[in-house]
Amino acid sequence: MSTRPGVYAAPSPDGIALMDIRTGRGQWRFLDPVGARLWQTITDGATPATAIDDLTAYWRSRGADPAQVRSDLTALADDLERADLLHRTAPAAPPGRTEIRFATPVPVSGAQQLAGHVGLFAALLLLRLLPIRIAIAGARAATRLPGRAALPQEAEAAFTAVRRAARLWPGRAACLEESLAAHFAAALTGHRVRWVIGARFIPQGAHAWIEAGTAIIGQDETDRVWPYIPALQVERSNGNSPPFATTTTHMGEALPRM
């Protein structure tokens, strides 16, 4: 099974989240463990018919109604095939040990604040007017600017500068805009951060953030439930990985969980 550019995965014991950035702002598809096993079996090389037969036999041995299982699996496989998602994805980096640093105001120099305004303008322009794949290309281009890896406090300064700049812009800058803007702002001041987009399953959701070393930067203490599983990581050291979305669909809910 070939790799499909523009589709990425965030795997978890609770299922798998597939991100498709080939059009528009991107889309998340959440599969529960049963749907995830079907997707994995097919992308490992089995035909949909073989995967459905094998999984139907497995669930029949566990006492499930084989006719219902087959019907649900067939519907899911057809849906994923129509969406062109039955392809192996780019490998996601496994989540490492991280420290979550909650957003607190830190001192920001004039140059850092200017970078915050420029970074926010660039992020809003890319994300609101162009397909997300262009924004990701821009983030990857920023990693080629001269500079060194940011210390956590330097990444916090970039994030603070973006938040202050956002007060002067109309509308709300959500996590996607803020994190990309902070990525740009850090790059403009000679520092590199890691831009990450990921998903969680309980409850389902997607989020974007920046990291410096092992520190997750700028989280709101009352706003986010961790852990999120990375699907996209953009940084200089290891090339890049994957993106974001605006809609979610939970597949395979009628099937028993593994």
Residue 218: C-alpha distances to residues 117, 145, 246 (Å): 17, 23, 22
230: which residues sit within 8 A by CB, 6+ positions away?
A: 10, 92, 93, 95, 196, 197, 198, 241
DSSP state of 170: S
* Among candidate residues 46, 131, 39, 53, the one with its CA nearest the CA of residue 85: 39
Are 30 and 204 contacting, i.e. CB atoms less than 8 angstroms apart?
yes
* SS3 label, residue 32: coil
CA distance 199 to 191: 26
Lowest mean per-residue pLDDT among 1-5, 31-35, 61-65, 73-77? 1-5
Q: With beta carbons less than 8 A apart as the criterion, state whether 216 and 155 touch.
A: no
Q: Are strands 191-192 and 215-219 parallel, antiparallel or unpaired?
A: unpaired
> If DSSP codes are grouped into helix, strand and coil, which group holds residue 142?
helix
Nearest to 178 by CA among 162, 197, 191: 162
What are 130-151's pLDDT values in tens digits? 999 999 999 999 999 999 999 9
What was the pLDDT predicted at 250? 32
Average pLDDT of the chain is 86
Q: Does residue 38 or residue 203 have the better pLDDT? A: 38
Task: Give me the residues paired with residue 215 across strands.
Answer: 99, 212
CA distance 23 to 161: 31
Q: Does the structure show a pLDDT above 50 at 47?
A: yes
Sign of the alpha-carbon torsion through 251, 254, 257, 258: negative
List, for residues 208-225, the tens digit of each pLDDT value: 999 999 999 988 877 666
Return the amino acid letter for 37.
R
**Total Cβ atoms within 10 A of residue 2:** 7
> Does the pLDDT of residue 1 top 50, yes or no?
no
Instruction: Over range 227-237, report the average pLDDT.
Output: 88
